[in-house]
């Protein structure tokens, strides 16, 4: 049996609460947006797709090895934007600042490690962000862009990243359901301490 999986950096409940309030404010633009449920907002570090259940122990071991020596990350959520551009927005996002270079290195290490197991390497450059919503049509774009401009300059909270998770994604008509399969601690060293 195959399980649809991805590796993610999840948010603590406090920050999910901040994003829920932000989404509530952005909905005032009445734009035609499919909003991500705040409890589902995450940063995908590596999408794996369908993984045979029997391969999961090897995938978990590979993720753990890819994280060796990676300490916690100091990040914070700041800024709002759209992809690909303000004239033709398709994705509404919250930005990530702080130790972005270390975050990119962590993502590259995971991509390389999991690539050795046959998972496709990422073709696009890593662009860390949390997706809030996806445009369904052009309805309400001017008012949404105006609101993004007014709300976008503030910091939304600190994120001391202590772990990343291997997540299961189950697709349903009402939206995806994400379940944590394994949590991996970001400790400075996985080697035993020697005195």
Cα(127)–Cα(125) distance, rounded to whole angstroms?
6
193 is catalytic: no
42 is catalytic: yes
Catalytic residue among 18, 42, 172, 193: 42
Catalytic residue among 18, 129, 172, 193: 129
**Three-class DSSP category at 195:** coil
Do 148 and 7 touch, CB atoms closer than 8 A? Answer: no
Q: What distances in angstroms separate CA 73 from CA 62, 164, 188, one per listed residue?
A: 20, 11, 10
Q: Report the chain's C-alpha Rg in angstroms.
A: 18
Q: What is the C-alpha end-to-end distance of the chain, expressed in Å?
A: 46
Residues tagged active-site? 42, 129
């Amino acid at each position: 049996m195959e399980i649809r999986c991805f590796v993610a950096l999840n948010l603590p409940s406090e920050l999910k609460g901040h994003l829920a309030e932000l989404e509530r404010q952005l909905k005032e633009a009445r734009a035609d947006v499919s909003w991500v449920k705040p409890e589902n907002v995450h940063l995908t570090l590596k999408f794996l797709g369908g993984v045979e259940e029997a391969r999961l122990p090897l995938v978990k071991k590979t993720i753990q090895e890819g994280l060796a020596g990676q300490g916690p990350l100091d990040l914070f959520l700041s800024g709002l934007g759209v992809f690909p551009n303000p004239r033709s927005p398709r994705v509404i996002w919250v930005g990530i600042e702080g130790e972005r270079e270390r975050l990119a290195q962590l993502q590259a290490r995971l991509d390389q490690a999991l690539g050795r197991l046959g998972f496709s390497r990422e073709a696009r450059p890593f662009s860390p962000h949390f997706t809030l919503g996806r445009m369904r049509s052009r309805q309400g774009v001017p008012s949404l862009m105006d609101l993004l401009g007014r709300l976008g300059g503030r910091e939304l909270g600190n994120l001391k990243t202590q772990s990343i998770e291997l997540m299961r994604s189950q697709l349903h008509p009402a939206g995806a359901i994400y379940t944590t399969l394994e949590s991996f601690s970001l400790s400075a060293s996985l080697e035993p301490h020697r005195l």
